Amino acid sequence: MAFRRFYAHALRENVAHVLFALAACVSIVAVALICVFLFWSGLPAIAQIGPLEFLSGSVWHPEAGRFGVFTMIVGSVYVTAGAVVIGVPIGVLCALFLSRFASRRVVRLMLPGIELLAGIPSVVYGFFGLVVIVPFIRSSFGVQGMSILAASLVLGIMIMPTIIAVSKAALDAVPDHYYEGALALGASHERCAFRVVLPAAASGVMASVILGVGRAIGETMAVVMIIGNQVRLPSSILDGIRTLTGNIVMEMGYAAELHREALIGTAVVLFVFILIINILFSLLKRRAK
């Protein structure tokens, strides 16, 4: 009987091991297939157009055979940077408040709202920006309203739930004796939270920032609705511009031949862009350790 129980337990462990390994392999294969498709379809178009012309060209005119994505790279960088400036400080401070300052009752009240914020569809955020933020910018600054600032504000709100949830989990995982030891040395509650607990959770906080940046770069629908979609170099954050993702979603439906391949090449640029950002964050994370 004991041998049978041992055998059944070992069999369950082996089956679970195989299932987990298969799940991991499926994820790796899916990423590999996406990479193969993007580079197989996009690199020939980039080579045909010319890498320098494609990456540094500021004119996107498919009818004339001009495919330059530099303005869209700039637009993606501006919007992502604006979202990070808005969303990351607020998200991290909110996570620190929920983890170390708020009472349990306040946490119970706030967490469902944050989770609800994370579940709102992108198009709803875009509609909110279109009817609230864009008119506010238009009336405040006397511009058209659809701008980098509007997109950055909406994206900043969109990435906050992810940053708050991941950062709070990292802060909650910090051992209590870190905090207690700092208190015993005479530090105040605020000093313990900001100078001891937060640095100890830096790895998890950095992971939340990476996820937030990835969400901001990859967001399409909300950005398309409120950014203006103008292929030009902006002179201020109140100008409209087009992002890499917006360019793909706006033109893929009717694109053909080289135009379609150039859009896939745009996706390759976006993929490499995200990869570079992840590598840079990983390097910063290692340096922090």
pLDDT in tens, 98-123: 988 888 888 888 888 888 888 888 89
Q: Higher confidence at residue 164 or residue 41?
A: 164
Examine the pLDDT at 280 and tell me if it is beyond 90: no
Q: Is 188 helix (H, G, I), strand (E, B) or coil?
A: coil
The span from the CA of 81 to the CA of 87, in Å, is 10
Find the largest Cα–Cα distance for the chain. 82
pLDDT band of residue 88 (cuts 50, 70, 90) is: very high
Examine the pLDDT at 289 and tell me if it is beyond 60: no
Query: Which has the closest alpha carbon to 216: 274, 165, 164?
Result: 274
Q: Which pLDDT score is estimated for 258? A: 87
Mean pLDDT, residues 170-182 taken together = 86
Q: What is the pLDDT of residues 131-158, one digit of tens each?
A: 999 999 999 888 888 999 999 999 999 9
Examine the pLDDT at 281 and tell me if it is beyond 80: no
Examine the pLDDT at 81 and tell me if it is beyond 60: yes
String of b and e for 127-162 (b: at least 16 CB within 10 Å)? ebbbeebbeebbeeeebebbbbbbbbbbbbbbbbbb
Q: Which pLDDT score is estimated for 70? A: 92
Q: What is the pLDDT of residues 33-72, one digit of tens each?
A: 888 888 888 888 888 888 888 988 888 888 888 888 999 9
Token digits of residue 128: 């909110």
Mean pLDDT, residues 247-274 taken together = 87
The span from the CA of 284 to the CA of 289, in Å, is 9
Examine the pLDDT at 218 and tell me if it is beyond 80: yes
Percent of the chain with pLDDT over 70: 94
- Is 171 within 8 Å of 197 (Cβ atoms)? yes
Q: Which pLDDT score is estimated for 207? A: 85
Examine the pLDDT at 1 and tell me if it is beyond 60: no
Q: Which pLDDT score is estimated for 6? A: 59
- Is 213 within 8 Å of 84 (Cβ atoms)? yes
Q: Which pLDDT score is estimated for 226? A: 92
Mean pLDDT, residues 208-227 taken together = 87
Q: Which pLDDT score is estimated for 191? A: 87
**Residue 31 to residues 26, 35, 229, 264, 278, Cα–Cα distance (Å):** 9, 6, 29, 16, 15
Q: What is the pTM of this model?
A: 0.85
pLDDT band of residue 9 (cuts 50, 70, 90) is: low
* Cα atoms found within 13 Å of the Cα of residue 267, Cβ hemisphere only: 21
Q: Higher confidence at residue 3 or residue 286?
A: 286
Question: Which residue stretches of the chain are H helix?
Answer: 2-49, 51-56, 70-96, 104-119, 122-128, 134-141, 148-172, 176-184, 189-192, 198-200, 202-218, 221-226, 244-251, 258-288
